[in-house]
Structure 1
Amino acid sequence: MRESLRLKIIQVCDEKIEKKGTNVGLSFYAFFANKNDDPVLLMEAAEWWIMTHKLDHFEKALKIKTMLESINLEI
């Protein structure tokens, strides 16, 4: 996953958690506008979410944020 996407997802998770609490769920669509203006980036997120990690359609934002922050530790 490219770094810019990783950082964007963490930012969106932070915003959702701040607004709705630590139990808030989201799907990978939450990181994109309602129009499909970057299909390559959308597919990159979908592959990471569905194919690589076999996540459910909706997951807790805190779980996703934690997973993505751990990627940074592995680099």
Structure 2
Amino acid sequence: MQKVLKDKIIEVCDKKIAQKGEQVGLSFYAFFANKNDNPELLMEAATWWIKTHKLDHFEKAVKIKNLVNGISTK
């Protein structure tokens, strides 16, 4: 995963957790603007989310942050 994507995911997860608590869920679309201004990065996030980790559409931000940091969620 590109560092820019990893950093963005962690930033968004931290912000959402701070705003709404540790039970907050999000989808990989939360890491991007409403316009598709970086399709390659969006596809990288989608592939990581859907193919690599087989995640549901919405997952807990804490779980996503742990996955990105290499911490087991099992």
The two structures share one fold, judged by TM-score above 0.5: yes
**Residue identity (%):** 70
Q: Which segments of structure 1 move beyond 4 Å, counting only runs of 4 or more?
A: none
- What's the offset of the Cα at 1:6? 0.5
Cα distance in 2, alignment partners of residues 41 and 67 from structure 1: 18
Matches within 5 A, 1:1-75: 1-70=1-70
Give the residue type in structure 1 aligned to 2:43.
M
Gaps of 5+ in 1: none
Cα distance in 2, alignment partners of residues 37 and 8 from structure 1: 15
- CA offset digits 1:25-75 (Å, max 9, x no partner): 00000000000011110000000000010000000000000111117xxxx
TM-score by length of 1: 0.92
Higher helix share: 1
TM-score by length of 2: 0.93
- What's the offset of the Cα at 1:8? 0.7
Gaps of 5+ in 2: none
